Amino acid sequence: MAEAGADTVLEGLNAAQREAVLTGSSHNLVLAGAGTGKTTTIVARLRHQLRQGVSPERLLAITFTRRAAAEIRSRVQAEIGVGGAQEGVAAMTFHGWAMRHVRNNPDVFGYEGWSVLDAEDQAQVMRGVVGRGKRVEGLKADQIVDVLSFARNTRITLAEAIRVKHPDQTIDAKAVGAIVRAFEERKRERQYLNYDDILMIFAERLKDPAVAAWVGSHYEEILVDEMQDTNPLQWLLIDPLVPHTRFYCVGDDAQSIYGFRGADFASIHSFRDRVPGARVLKLEDNYRSTQEILDLSNWLLDQSPLGYDKHLRAVRGSGAKPELHSFETPQDEAGWIAAEMMRARDDGQPWATHLILVRSNYSGRAIEARLVENDIPYVFYGGVKLLESAHVRDVLSALRVVSNPDDEIAWMRLLTLLPRVGDRTAARVFDDVLDARGAGLSAREARERALKGLPGWLAAGLDAIEEASARVDDAVGRAASMLTPVLAHKYRNDNWDARSRDLSHVERLAASRPSISAFIEEYLLSPVFTSELSQDRSDGDHVIVSTVHSAKGLERDWAFCAGVSAGAYPSARSLGDVDSIEEERRVLYVALTRARDRLIVTRTFAHTPVRAWVSTSAGLGFVEDAYFLGALPEALVREEVHTAARLPKPVSPPGAGVGGPREIDLGVDLGDLE
């Protein structure tokens, strides 16, 4: 019986994958190139352990996103088949994992009743400290938040982080440090935790060997996905547990794209030093793409001064050449992508065949607009997250002030929804709440006193929410109906219908959650995208639009890599720093390696060389052409230049072209127009 089980676990795996699944070493690092069956191997490893009799709650998979966690859970569950009634394997993010321990063991960690802040709220707190619209040493509140987070995630000093993030400014780190101290003090007063605090609290307690032994004793094995994106702060959660449990880490240095968050792919190279006795295994056969797609991807890495020593080989063999399409404007580009998918649709190809990869949320918006226009169903990974959208935050602010009356950020948001109430008035009301609380009044009494001058429905509505708070979906429903009149006005010109639908989604998600704060926390630590929710009632056949960063693990028959223009790859902002440029190269590499059969690279103008000074460890060097596709050998792609067939338009004055002056070389390639 056990034998039969093992056979099912290993079915369809190649020799290297089997080796990786069966390894008996206590710590392992699996170096898995793009498309080599990374998730398959992780799932098989988990199933293997379950077959060996390990109980599921003693296994933990740390992933990057809610989606990756859900996929692992469901695949383990599905393939386990019989006995599926058992509790599934835990799969969650570093933050979700740390927070679970902190929440479940207040006596060990000492943080009871603290609320988690997302990036936006955190910036709001910092703005309060810095002063609205003000700067400290030339840095805006958001920039200080960023630099502080970078320092904490990389475990370097604030002064060093400032130098790294703002190399060309002279900044007095002491002045910034004073602001940071005030910021931390404010968070402590209000009992707020940000993302980094969660990891720090856990890491600090793990320094106690008894705590480390206790945490480690929960797990037979901890699997870490996307190991190359693990930063020094996250390593502080791993290191102390190494003696107490097994680690099974999976990653690919060529796909490291979170350097901006402190990840250093070199820590993968030094894995064996950090985790003594670890075994390193490699998966090198690519099952995803055709050789032509891998040839282009390999070429890109070969151009790098860093030796990746990586040449993916396609098990599937040969296919069509990747395509490179150039357009005059982003609108033309988006329009063509939509048209190309619709043409395929007419030939019977499902929408789900397609993946569109974009560099930024912002650039995805143009594509999104085209899909909406053409009624093409899509989900945007990396678009607006449900709990980050303005209307959802509005409603949640009402829940938050009930759940935690000292939540300043939530009070400010809620109060400024009211007509004739701005920052000043809201701040006064919040002060009244604090005063009343300080005088020993209950939350309800404090509200009654502080909200005197405001419309009566507010205090009454908050009371109703409080009464319903045992059923979180009910509380959400009451908050939404209380605020509907003001929200309908606030968003009257801004898609109120769709926003209103989102609020019902929130209500549905809140059902059976234990508390308001637990509900909010869950979706802050592993977010869902609004477009995921609006799509899930359809038959599931939809295009995926994704930022490259959110596209980890994704693959589709066709992949459109959009906006691969000069000045974008590498992004103009990364010029001047060789590490950032190389990270950009890996971003493009991740994008290219998503395609199974057809890789379509699109860009918006003919190439002009991007010249850059780059500082390297060897000194300052001049790069004549930093654009990754600048020296692309013709043989690797099939190139096509599209010029819009438009009615004649008035001639624009010289220099008034879209995006400023460019040398657009249109002369030679336009032969097909004649």
Pairing of strands 556-561, 354-358: parallel
When binding is defined by CB under 7 A, the residue of 1, 81, 309, 362 that contacts DNA is 362
In the complex with DNA, the residue whose CB is nearer, 49 or 194, is 194
- Shortest CB 389 distance to DNA, Å: 5
| Residue 359 binds DNA (CB under 7 A) | yes
Does the annotation place 39 within a ligand binding site? yes
Q: Is 38 annotated as a binding residue?
A: yes
Residue 32 among known ligand-binding residues = yes
The number of angstroms, rounded, from the C-alpha of 76 to the middle of its chain's C-alpha atoms is 24
Interaction with DNA in 420-449: which residues (CB under 7 A)? 420-426
Would you say 119 is a known binding-site residue? no
- Dig out the tokens for 522 from the structure: 């869950």
User: Which residue of 58, 385, 449, 471 would you call a contact of DNA, by CB under 7 A?
Assistant: 385
Query: Which region among 53-61, 312-320, 360-368, 630-638 touches DNA (by CB under 7 A)?
Result: 360-368
Instruction: Compute the least distance from the CB of residue 381 to DNA, in Å.
Output: 8
Residue 185 φ then ψ, to 5°: -60, -45
CB 157 within 8 A of CB 139: no
Task: Kindly state the tokens that stand for 551.
Answer: 């596209």
Site string for DNA, 274-303 (x = CB under 7 A): ------------------------------
Reduce the DSSP state of residue 242 to 3 states and report it.
coil
Site track for DNA across 463-502, x = CB under 7 A: ------------------------------x---------
DSSP string, 63-80: -SSHHHHHHHHHHHHHHH
Site string for DNA, 182-201 (x = CB under 7 A): -------------xx-----
Find tokens 């974008």 and name the residue.
568
d(CA 660, CA 665): 15
Is 84 annotated to bind a ligand? Reply is no
**58 touches 297 (CB < 8 A):** no
Among 574, 593, 602, 604, binds DNA (CB under 7 A): 574
Cα 121 → chain centroid: 17
Least distance from C-beta 397 to DNA, angstroms?
A: 12
8 Å CB contact between 46 and 222: no
Look up tokens 């063991």; give the residue.
105
Among 96, 240, 322, 567, binds DNA (CB under 7 A): 96
Interface pick for DNA out of 21, 117, 123, 636 (rule CB under 7 A): 123
- The 522-561 contact track toward DNA, x by CB under 7 A, reads ---xxx-------------------x-xx-----------
Minimum CB separation of residue 132 from DNA in Å reads 7
Q: Return the HEC string of 254-302.
A: HHCCCHHHCCCCHHHHCHHHHCCCCEEEEECEECCCCHHHHHHHHHHHH
Q: Give CA separation, 302 vs 299, 310, 322, 376, 615, in Å.
A: 5, 8, 17, 37, 20
Rounded to a whole number of angstroms, the minimum distance from the CB of residue 637 to DNA is 24
**Taking a C-beta distance cutoff of 8 angstroms, is the pair 322, 601 a contact?**
yes
Instruction: Give the nearer residue to DNA in terms of CB position, either 10 or 390.
Output: 390
CA dist list (Å): 250 to 20, 203, 212, 583: 10, 22, 23, 19
Task: Verify binding: residue 119, DNA, rule CB under 7 A.
Answer: yes
6 is in an annotated binding site: no
Task: Report the distance separating Cα 480 and Cα 246, nearest Å.
Answer: 47
* 325 SS3 class: strand
Q: Is the peptide bond before 570 cis (omega within 30 degrees of 0)?
A: yes
The answer to whether 37 is annotated as binding is yes
Nearest-angstrom CA–CA distance, 45 and 108: 32
Nearest-approach distance from CB 70 to DNA, in angstroms: 13
Tell the smallest beta-carbon distance from residue 261 to DNA (Å).
5
Q: Is 656 in the site for DNA (CB under 7 A)?
A: no
Pairing type for strands 619-623 and 378-381 reads unpaired
Residue from 42, 94, 530, 626 that binds DNA (CB under 7 A)?
94
Q: 52-81 mask for DNA (x: CB under 7 A)?
A: ------------xx----------------
Q: Which of 73, 146, 206, 516 binds DNA (CB under 7 A)?
A: 146
Smallest gap, in angstroms, from Cβ of residue 648 to DNA? 27
**What would the two tokens of residue 580 be?**
């950032």
> Which residues in this chain contact DNA in the complex, by CB under 7 A?
64-65, 93-96, 118-120, 123, 127, 132-133, 140-142, 146, 149, 195-196, 257-258, 260-261, 359-362, 382, 385, 388-390, 393, 416, 419-426, 493, 525-527, 547, 549-550, 571, 573-574, 580, 583, 587
- State the binding site for ATP: 32-39
